[in-house]
Structure 1
Amino acid sequence: MIFTVAIDGPAAAGKGTISKAVAAHFGFAHLDTGLLYRAVGAKVLGGADPVVAARSLDPSDLENASLRTPAVAQAASEVAVIPEVRAALVDFQKAFARRTGGAVLDGRDIGTVICPEAEVKLFVTASPACRAERRFAELRAGGMDVVYETVLEDVKARDARDSGRVAAPLKPAEDAVLLDTSDLTVAAAVARAIAVVAAHPAARDSV
């Protein structure tokens, strides 16, 4: 079967955790499209041209342990506004989305640009303060010395950059289901997402 779940939303809203859980529940393949841009960002930090880096991206580049650092996240957001970079990564994402067996993709323009034909679209969000708290805790747990106020400012700046870019700005698709995780536990957020997907007739055969 071909069944695509598009999950979009801002940083630290929980879309990655939700996407992985949905994919596991239904037996679908999962792609964190943000890793594609992080991998390009990492190459740029290493001195590469962003467009060249995007066009030469290899699947093994997604396994780089440094992709989760704040510096790479910042670089990823910056290269994501470059139309040529986005164009170089679109084909890979589209092919993955329509693979046999079902697929869940999470990012910022999946439902609006990459997979407007997706069977299910979710827009996962949360308040900036809530997302900053989550990111702060994640970074501290990873041993990084960070200040909450700085993380909050970074979250707000990234939101503004992602929503204001000319190429594929961050916004919900018109037919996306909004899922605000601000006051939800992980289990509750995952359960709601699974329920939305399961409500689609074609998904029921996958459970």
Structure 2
Amino acid sequence: MRLKNMKKAFKIAVDGPSGSGKSTIAKKVAKKLEIEYIDTGAMYRAVGYKMICEGISRGETNRIREILSRTEIDFRGTDIFLDGICISNKIRTPEVAKMASSFSALPEVREKLVELQRKMAGEKSIIMDGRDIGTNVLSDAEYKVFLTASIRERALRRWKEMKDKGEEISLKQVEDEMIQRDFNDATRTINPLRKAKGALEIDTTEMTIEEVVETIIQSIK
């Protein structure tokens, strides 16, 4: 269902807090519009995962820079590859999420990943989701969306996702960690989470996935 009237490449930026449905929605919009989807959240998780594997702490600036200089992140379909190895099933854990949130505030990490993200956007039509896409990474995007939902609903979604994967964790723990991540994302000095000017804001709390997808597509049309 590629939009017939689009004569050149275009970009869709989707921002929002953890658990608001960004990745799920963006993937479906990409499929319907026949454009490429780039999951920036997974890229930060990949960095968090690598730092865990390397035993790196947040204060080791020189080591972080050295590791980033030899870090390759790529997507093949819906899978993410770190240094040539698929890590899709290794980055959706509370430990990795916490590390991703912590390291994402570092200038070195953001500079490296934003460079990769803009390069991925290139000249093709893409939809990219994250926390500073419309305000920073793709500030020139033709279409900007900001997804949100109640903290309880977002935590419940993430908890169910983790339970389905066999992870043992309480809903309260997921909610507490999400509240902390919201705070980290909104208060970091570099490109904090906020709604981009002119972005379409959608509260997904009581909406189905299909309803959100259709709302975005209709706004683009």
Fold in common (TM above 0.5): yes
Whether the 8 Å CA contact 1:38–1:75 is kept in 2: the answer is yes
Whether the 8 Å CA contact 1:7–1:121 is kept in 2: the answer is yes
State the Cα distance separating 1:95 from its structure 2 match.
1.9
- The structure where helix makes up a greater share of residues is 1
State the alpha-carbon separation in 2 of the partners of residues 32 and 86 from structure 1: 15
With normalisation by structure 2, the TM-score equals 0.85
Matched, 1:18 2:18: no
State the Cα distance separating 1:195 from its structure 2 match.
1.4
Alignment of 1:4-15 (within 5 A): 4-15=11-22
- SS in structure 1 of the partner of residue 145 of structure 2: strand
Residue of structure 1 equivalent to 2:192 = 169
State the alpha-carbon separation in 2 of the partners of residues 55 and 114 from structure 1: 20
Aligned residues: 197
Q: Mind listing any 5+ residue stretches in structure 2 that lack a counterpart?
A: 1-7, 57-62, 75-80
The runs of at least 4 aligned residues of structure 1 exceeding 4 Å deviation read none
Matched, 1:144 2:167: yes
Residue of structure 2 equivalent to 1:123 = 146
**What is the letter of the counterpart of residue 33 of structure 1?**
T
Residue of structure 2 equivalent to 1:32 = 39
**What is the letter of the counterpart of residue 86 of structure 2?**
E
| Identical amino acids, percent of aligned pairs | 36
With normalisation by structure 1, the TM-score equals 0.91
- SS in structure 1 of the partner of residue 198 of structure 2: coil
State the Cα distance separating 1:57 from its structure 2 match.
2.2
Q: Bigger CA drift: 58-67 or 11-20? A: 58-67
Candidates 70, 73, 90, aligned match of 1:56: 70
After superposition, the CA RMSD in angstroms is 1.3
State the Cα distance separating 1:158 from its structure 2 match.
0.3
State the alpha-carbon separation in 1 of the partners of residues 215 and 64 from structure 2: 37
State the alpha-carbon separation in 1 of the partners of residues 71 and 219 from structure 2: 33
State the Cα distance separating 1:119 from its structure 2 match.
0.4
State the Cα distance separating 1:170 from its structure 2 match.
0.4
State the alpha-carbon separation in 2 of the partners of residues 23 and 55 from structure 1: 30
Q: Mind listing any 5+ residue stretches in structure 1 that lack a counterpart?
A: 199-207
State the Cα distance separating 1:197 from its structure 2 match.
2.2
Candidates 77, 97, 119, aligned match of 2:101: 77
